[in-house]
Amino acid sequence: MRNIVLFGPPGAGKGTQSQKLIDKYGFIHLSTGDLLRAEIAAQTPLGMEAKKLMDKGELVPDQVVIGMIGHKVEANPQAPGFIFDGFPRTVAQAQALDQLLQANGTAIAGMVALEVVEDELVKRLLLRGATSGRSDDQDEGTIRRRFNEYQAKTLPVAEYYKGQAKYQAINGIGEVEEIFGSLCQVIEKL
Ligand code: AP5
Ligand code: MG
């Protein structure tokens, strides 16, 4: 199994590039953001609780997302690999993921970070917000709060993988295809 953490701030292109990786390599995509939005759409109690935090641009509790990921990993023992998108977002989540994968006889092969400057991220998210209906893309204040959460809680996750010599970064600005090419080069060497 080739399990990859696709890392980067809100709007870096994790979802966009994940879709292309799935099409090319047949990986299973695990996006905690997408899973949470599905819970909101289904109006589950979990979704309703998560929505309050997501609308403010804050992270949901670790136990909630760890539980979601656990079910998906256990349900797909034959997968060629998993793409983790938007997870792990805290060091506690990264530790839980290592334990979960170990219990399933596998591990993270590497983290690949998409590097994009903040002005470009704001531009992308506001543009998407005009049509997507994502409530956390609607105003710059909420977008900035997502960046603050990223700086405070999520950036340490990059250090966690650097400590395991599993971290690599690529330029996330430019044409989607060009970025995908760089990403594939890194992934094929893992
Ligand atoms: P989540 O859904 O993960 O959102 P996010 O991290 O804020 O990131 P986005 O999905 O907005 O960006 P992306 O990097 O996927 O970029 P995309 O490809 O879409 O999380 C949402 C919320 O859920 C969190 O705030 C939190 O509350 C909660 N949550 C989720 N996971 C959690 C966890 N593990 N723990 C706790 N809480 C959690 O691209 C963005 C836009 O840019 C698109 O419109 C796209 O078309 C465009 N674009 C992409 N690439 C390019 C390019 N190269 N050039 C120009 N435009 C581009
Ligand atoms: Mg996304």
Ligand 1 pocket member 123 (CB < 6 A): no
We report the CATH number of the domain holding residue 117 as 3.40.50.300
Query: Residue 7 above 90 pLDDT?
Result: yes
Spacing, Cα 11 to ligand 1 middle (Å): 5
Ligand 1 pocket member 14 (CB < 6 A): yes
Q: What value does the mean pLDDT take over residues 53-76?
A: 96
pLDDT at 133: 87
Q: What value does the mean pLDDT take over residues 58-80?
A: 95
Q: What value does the mean pLDDT take over residues 26-32?
A: 97
Q: What are the contacts of 137-143 at 24+ separation with CB within 8 A? A: 142/55, 142/56, 142/57, 143/10, 143/11, 143/57
β strands within 60-152, DSSP E:
82-85, 108-115
Atom 7, ligand 1: residue with shortest CA distance? 10
Q: What is the pTM of this model?
A: 0.97
Q: What are the contacts of 16-23 at 24+ separation with CB within 8 A? A: 16/176, 17/114, 17/176, 17/179, 17/180, 17/183, 18/83, 18/85, 20/176, 20/180, 21/83, 21/183, 21/184, 21/187, 22/83
pLDDT at 84: 98
Indicate the top mutation candidate among 31, 32, 51, 175 to test ligand 1's pocket, ranked by most ligand atoms within 8 A of CB. 32
- Nearest ligand to residue 54 Cα: 1
pLDDT at 132: 87
Mean pLDDT of the chain: 97
Query: Residue 70 above 90 pLDDT?
Result: yes
Total count of domains within the chain: 1
Tens digits of residue pLDDT in 129-166: 999 889 999 999 999 999 999 999 999 999 999 999 99
| Domain with 143 in it | 3-176
Q: Is residue 184 part of a domain?
A: no
Q: Is residue 164 part of a domain?
A: yes
Q: Is residue 187 part of a domain?
A: no
- Closest by CA to 30, choosing from 58, 4, 10, is 4
Spacing, Cα 167 to ligand 1 middle (Å): 20
Between CA 11 and CA 74 the distance in angstroms is 29
